[in-house]
Amino acid sequence: MPLYKMSYLKGKKALITGASSGFGVDFANIFAEMGMDVILVARRKDRLEEVKKNVESKWGVSAKVIAMDLTGFDAALKLYQLTKDDGVEILINNAGYGIFGTAADQDAEEVNAMIQLNVVSLAALTNMFLKDMVKKDSGCIMNVSSFAGFNPMPLYAAYGATKSFVMNYSVAIHTELLKTGSKVIVSAFCPGYTNTEFIDVSRQEKSKFVKMAMGESYPAAKEAVEKMLSEKAVSMPRFINKFGAVLMKFMTRKRAAVNVYDAIRK
């Protein structure tokens, strides 16, 4: 039985990072449909304003736009300070991206920026909002990880490692809250290849496997929200992802890595 009922969430606030496209837009609509006001955070103000307009007109809720780059601890602290008095009930740490290619061919500065966003900013926001939620014994945090977090990810080596951190970090906190009797929920969302901007941003060319494995974002986001509100530690949409994750458990890490490389390299 879900801890959070629609009647409870109505009028509460959900803060969504990476809200200008893909899963971020889906989450904005899902929570707005529940009657929640939303705080939309991303770099592209024009896209955020478009999401705000659509959400407010479609669902009759209030949407607040914060256009900023969330890369690094200082950015996370700034966002927290801007929103700490808004009564955030749900935090969706969705901002993040990947860089495709061999590690030797990637730019160290670009990799660092990705790690700062995918790991440092996410962990800081989780920590700061978690403290407030624990004090009031209420709230949910969803950290967007990836199928890539379950195994070594050649050609996405650094990205996969960041998502492994996100998944293990989230599940560890989920367990701490469970064992201490807190009503706060922390959940990891682990989608596989999805029809969003991710592929284009990462500069990956789609292999036959990637094209075959591609799923749609809205059903996955909907399932992730339902799992979170039902107090699940991890949600992974679609059978192909769940089957793949189980299959990886029966392989050595090296074998799993070789299989991933062969599957995603065009």
Domains of the chain: 6-264 (3.40.50.720)
* Predicted model pTM: 0.91
Q: Inter-axis angle of helices 157-179 and 108-115, to 10 degrees?
A: 20
Active site residues: 159
- pLDDT exceeds 50 at position 1: no
Lowest mean pLDDT among 62-66, 118-122, 205-209, 228-232: 205-209
Of residues 3 and 179, more confidently modeled: 179
Which residue bears the tokens 């970090």?
Answer: 169
Amino acid at 106: Q
Mean pLDDT score across all residues of the chain: 91
Residue in the structure block whose two tokens are 């991933």: 260
Query: In the block, which residue shows the tokens 């966003």?
Result: 117
**Angle between helix 217-229 and 22-33 (nearest 10):** 50
**3 state DSSP class of 65:** strand
Q: Which amino acid is at 192?
A: G
